Amino acid sequence: MRLSDLPENPTVVVTGGAAGIGLAAAKAFAARGANICIVDLGADRLAAAAADIGGDVMVSETDVSDRTALEALEAAVAARFGGADVVINNAGIQPGSDTLDPTNWQRIMNVNLWGIIHGSQVFAPRMIERRRNGMIINTGSKQGITTPPGDPAYNVAKSGVKTFTEALEHEFRNTAPYLSAHLLIPGFVFTDLTKGERTEKPAGAWTPDQTAAFMMESLDKGDFYILCPDNDVPRALDEKRIHWAAHDIIENRPPLSRWHPDFGEAFAKFLDDET
């Protein structure tokens, strides 16, 4: 499915839509004439985001980890617009985690994985029933592919998003070909989620608007994997990192060998190798 295949003035639902990539994506679709529903927590944040988007924007203060709340949201979208044509499951948190410390694990999984599964499962049935061309776009992460050390709960959740979205696209392809699923894989983006104590965007980071623009270009081409670069990491470097991570299994290396002291030199040589 490509953007050009969508119906005129589609209805687009964006979770995590009050800021960052979600807000930028909502603005990008609104510029193409879409009806917009932004979903987030914080009435003031939602009101400010709606004003930023402009026009008659539907807002919903909904916790994506609450399936019942998402079911109510879906019904409200259907009552107002007839149903969703594009769902961007983008809401996410990153409070940090440790492998053996249970702190934050349940919360991260509930929002970053279950929020996306709930959003897809709740909105897809009516999308299938309506038989209109449509999309579900799920926000993953490079950390869900190369799984670097440091935040295992986030990595596990985003790995699950990748697996779930691949399965969703396979199902649509075989049972509802007028729908498609897509995996958005942002690079380093300067948002409330990533900025920490910083007040100015680092030179290496992209803005949310740049990320949304890249997403729209990729959707114009019908891409499933929307692998975004940033100002520090070009696609070629991402490809090599992903290639190396996959070959940990193929070559029976230690897991996360990219960070293993015995393989640091080999990884550096691999990056320098033109072939």
Residue-by-residue DSSP string for 78-130: HHHHSS-SEEEE---------SS--TTHHHHIIIIIHHHHHHHHHHHHHHHHH
Statement to judge: residues 58 and 166 lie in one domain: yes
Asked if residue 106 and residue 65 are part of one domain, the reply reads yes
Identify whether the C-beta of residue 193 lies closer than 8 Å to the C-beta of residue 148: no
Strands 179-185 and 58-61: unpaired
Cα distance between residue 160 and residue 141, in whole Å: 10
Contact 201, 190 (CB under 8 A): yes
Residue 161 is inside which H or E element, if any?
helix 152-175
pLDDT at residue 197, as a whole number: 75
Give the residue numbers annotated as catalytic, written as ranges: 154
Strand partners, 88: 14, 137
Count of domains in the chain? 2
**87/82 Cα distance (integer angstroms):** 14
Residue 39 CA to residue 36 CA, distance in Å, equals 10
Assess whether 15 and 131 both reside in one domain.
yes
Q: What is the pLDDT along the chain (275 residues), one digit of tens a residue?
A: 999 999 999 999 999 999 999 999 999 999 999 999 999 999 999 999 999 999 999 999 999 999 999 999 999 999 999 999 999 999 999 999 999 999 999 999 999 999 999 999 999 999 999 999 999 999 999 999 999 999 999 999 999 999 999 999 999 999 999 999 999 999 999 987 776 778 888 999 999 999 999 999 999 999 999 999 999 999 999 999 999 999 999 999 999 999 999 999 999 999 998 65
Tell me, yes or no, whether 150 and 266 share the same domain: no
| DSSP-assigned letters across all residues of 231-264 | SS--HHHHHHHHHHHHHHHHTTPPTTGGGSTTTH
Pair 267, 217 in one domain: no
- Strand order of the sheet with strand 35-40? 58-61, 35-40, 11-15, 86-89, 134-139, 179-185, 225-227
Amino acid identity of residue 205, one-letter, is: A
Q: Tell me 56's DSSP state.
A: S
Buried b (16+ CB within 10 A) or exposed e, 35-64: bbbbbbeeeebbeebbeebeeebbbbebbb
Distance CA 25, CA 27 (A): 5
CA–CA distance from 31 to each of 72, 220, 236 (Å)? 27, 15, 31
CATH of residue 210: 3.40.50.720
218 and 274 inside one domain? no
Domain check: are 264 and 162 in the same one?
Answer: no
10 and 141, same domain (yes or no): yes
166 CB-contact burial (10 Å; exposed 0-12 / middle 13-18 / buried 19+): middle
37, 158: one domain: yes
Task: Identify whether residues 228 and 246 lie together within a single domain.
Answer: no
For residue 248 the two structure tokens come to: 């940990």
Where among 232, 249, 264 does a domain terminate? Answer: 232
What is the dihedral angle through the alpha carbons of 171, 40, 193, 121, rounded to the nearest 10 degrees? -10
Q: What pLDDT was estimated at residue 107?
A: 98
Please indicate, yes or no, whether residues 270 and 193 belong to a single structural domain of this protein: no
Q: Please give the structure tokens belonging to residue 55.
A: 């026009």
- Which residues are CB-neighbours of 116 under 8 A, at least 6 positions away? 64, 89, 138, 139, 161, 164, 165
Q: What's residue 275's pLDDT?
A: 55
CB 207 within 8 A of CB 201: yes
**Residue range(s) defining the domain that contains residue 33:** 3-232
pTM: 0.96
* pLDDT of the residue at 121: 98
- pLDDT, position 196: 73
